């Protein structure tokens, strides 16, 4: 058999450069990979050689070479085409083959690792193949690598629930038969390749910002602000010029408008914006935490952005027409209608020991003046020891005791006879100002017993870090949230507050679908161009980074 013409020395070099450039999770400088991207774009598709053997010989070789662990859908797709090659014909390599290998070589643009897809090996196979068996090997390997690449790009390199049981996300992975059929039927294969990535503005913005930060890293990163005393507004300081330059480098509004050597005016306001971007107290004071964020290595920010691009691949492109979006790392809630944010508020989320899980559900009802059915774990671990010491310990909190549906006086129970292993009681707190759920809760029943609710502990909302609950989400100004979520019911002004003040328990069911998405994002870019980073309060960045590095070495 005559060998196809080489894919091209320039292209092979481009692939090699990509493979030796930054990986998807190292956060290192990307100059080499960017050079590779530019060079690989020069590749011209097509081949001048013809493939001399009958198609049937190649088909027989592909069928005989089919690996035992090949995905069934891919094997069926080959079978439907009588095992004819997918990526070449009598005229040589198809354009789709060139474009697919080029896309895999440039996977770093999407924070994926090009070496996971072996583009250089595919180039080498196409260079050296002579026999039908060798060409069959090339076609099969390109199909397998393309399937892997498409899966990683569309739904993530790792399956979230397998690396962390608190991540109850199960992204749809592409079905091989449909993927290859759509690829072959596409009239614009380049557009088809671009469409494999998440089609959300959030993903596109973060991808764009990642490229910009990589370019900045290649230039040496951000300026370091020297250590010194705590810097407060109106103080003179020799570091002012350096501070101003550091904020300008990250495009913080107002920094470039400042002049002079005093920490005042627009520079203080710029620092407050920077603090907001990083989830800090927006007091304008440059203390230990703010200075640490100013001097956070750009490589760490690259890692955060890369990890959160992976998280975006786990999420649906369309989160719904009307939904509640809670970012646990940010400890904020927003309500979105038709793509526009119409309400934002602070929330308190679970302590690291009681980390709130990630999942999506649909709101079913809102309850005003709710009972609080004390969770079993809280009843046995927190309240039972108190009851053993004093059977009346919970009476001041209006918590009553039930067994088999019947109320029992706490003083009639021999509490020392019970433990977490044989606790037959149900504890319920009556509605009221001291109720742990406050005066209203928003229910989307789920297996984790997580919901959004009011709280009598209002002071916690003033803190910059708000991880204090047992897992549920406490919301600031919950009746303002009710007004937004139940607006379609056309309530009279103050209607929900009137029910609250009456003390009556009331359940209201929304008449329109309201989706609820509990997420965990530590880096994102807003529509206004601001880039945000958050502390990894649950250590989930570390877990994901380790999983991605393992996947990289295992070439998954």
Would you say how long the chain is, in residues?
A: 556
Q: Dig out the tokens for 370 from the structure.
A: 């709710």
Residues of the chain where predicted confidence (pLDDT) is lower than 70 = 1-55, 552-556
The pLDDT assigned to 69 comes to: 87
* Whole-Å CA distances, 427 to 133, 321, 379, 418: 71, 38, 7, 14
SS3 label, residue 208: helix
- Predicted confidence at residue 343, as pLDDT, reads 98
CA distance 104 to 517: 32
Domains of the chain: 9-201 (no CATH), 208-299+538-551 (1.10.101.10), 321-371+433-512 (2.40.440.10), 373-430 (no CATH)
Question: What does DSSP say about strands 473-475 and 452-453: parallel, antiparallel, or unpaired?
Answer: parallel
- Residue 307 has phi, psi (to 5 degrees) of -65, -40
Q: What angle do CA 458, 461, 462 make, to 5 degrees?
A: 110
Going by C-alpha positions, the residue among 434, 439, 436 that lies closest to residue 373 is: 436
pTM to 2 decimal places: 0.87
Q: Quote the CA–CA distance of 530 and 543 in Å, as a whole number.
A: 27
Residue 450: its pLDDT value, please?
Answer: 96
């Amino acid at each position: 058999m005559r060998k196809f013409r080489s894919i091209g020395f320039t292209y092979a070099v481009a692939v090699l450069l990509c493979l030796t450039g930054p990986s998807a999770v190292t956060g290192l400088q990307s100059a080499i990979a960017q050079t590779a991207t530019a060079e690989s774009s020069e590749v011209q598709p097509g081949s001048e050689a013809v493939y001399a053997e009958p198609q049937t010989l190649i088909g027989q070789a592909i069928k005989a070479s089919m690996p035992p662990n090949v995905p069934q859908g891919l094997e069926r797709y080959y079978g439907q085409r009588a095992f004819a090659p997918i990526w070449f014909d009598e005229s040589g390599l198809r354009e789709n083959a060139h474009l697919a290998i080029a896309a895999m070589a440039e996977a770093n643009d999407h924070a994926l690792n090009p070496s996971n897809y072996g583009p250089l090996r595919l180039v080498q196979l196409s260079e050296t193949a002579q026999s039908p068996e060798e060409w069959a090997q090339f076609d099969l390997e390109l199909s397998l690598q393309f399937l892997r690449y498409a899966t990683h790009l569309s739904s993530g390199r790792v399956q979230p629930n397998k690396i962390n049981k608190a991540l109850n996300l199960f992204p749809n992975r592409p079905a091989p038969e449909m993927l290859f059929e759509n690829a072959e039927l596409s009239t614009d294969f380049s557009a088809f390749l671009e469409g494999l990535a998440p089609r959300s503005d959030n993903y596109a913005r973060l991808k764009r910002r990642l490229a910009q930060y990589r370019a900045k890293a290649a230039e040496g990163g951000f300026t370091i602000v020297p250590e010194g005393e705590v810097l407060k507004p109106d103080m003179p300081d020799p570091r002012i010029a350096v501070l101003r330059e550091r904020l300008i480098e990250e495009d913080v509004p107002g920094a470039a408008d400042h002049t002079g050597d005093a920490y005042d005016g627009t520079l203080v306001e710029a620092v407050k914006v920077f603090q907001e971007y990083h989830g800090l107290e927006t007091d304008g004071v440059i203390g230990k935490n703010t200075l640490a964020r100013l001097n956070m290595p750009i490589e760490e920010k690259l890692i955060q952005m890369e990890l959160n691009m992976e998280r975006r691949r786990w999420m649906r492109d369309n989160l719904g027409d009307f939904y509640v979006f809670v970012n646990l790392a940010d400890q904020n809630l927003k309500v979105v209608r038709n793509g526009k944010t119409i309400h934002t508020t602070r929330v308190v989320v679970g302590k690291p020991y009681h980390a709130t899980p990630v999942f999506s559900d649909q709101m079913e009802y809102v309850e005003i003046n709710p009972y609080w059915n004390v969770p079993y774990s809280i009843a046995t671990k927190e309240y039972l020891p108190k009851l053993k010491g004093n059977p009346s310990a919970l009476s001041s909190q209006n918590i009553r005791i039930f067994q088999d549906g019947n109320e029992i006086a706490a003083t009639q129970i021999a509490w020392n006879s019970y433990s977490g292993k044989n606790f037959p009681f149900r504890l319920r707190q009556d509605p009221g100002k001291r109720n742990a759920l406050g005066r209203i809760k928003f229910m989307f029943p789920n297996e984790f017993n997580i919901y959004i609710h009011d709280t009598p502990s209002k002071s916690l909302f003033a803190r910059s870090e708000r991880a204090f609950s047992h897992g549920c989400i406490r919301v600031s100004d919950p009746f303002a949230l009710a007004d937004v979520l139940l607006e379609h019911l056309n309530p009279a002004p103050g209607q929900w507050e009137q029910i609250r003040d009456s003390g009556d328990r009331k359940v209201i069911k929304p008449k329109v679908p309201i989706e609820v998405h509990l997420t965990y994002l530590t880096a994102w870019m807003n529509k206004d161009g601001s880039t945000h980073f958050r502390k990894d309060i649950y250590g989930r960045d570390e877990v994901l980074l380790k999983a991605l590095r393992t996947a990289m070495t295992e070439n998954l």
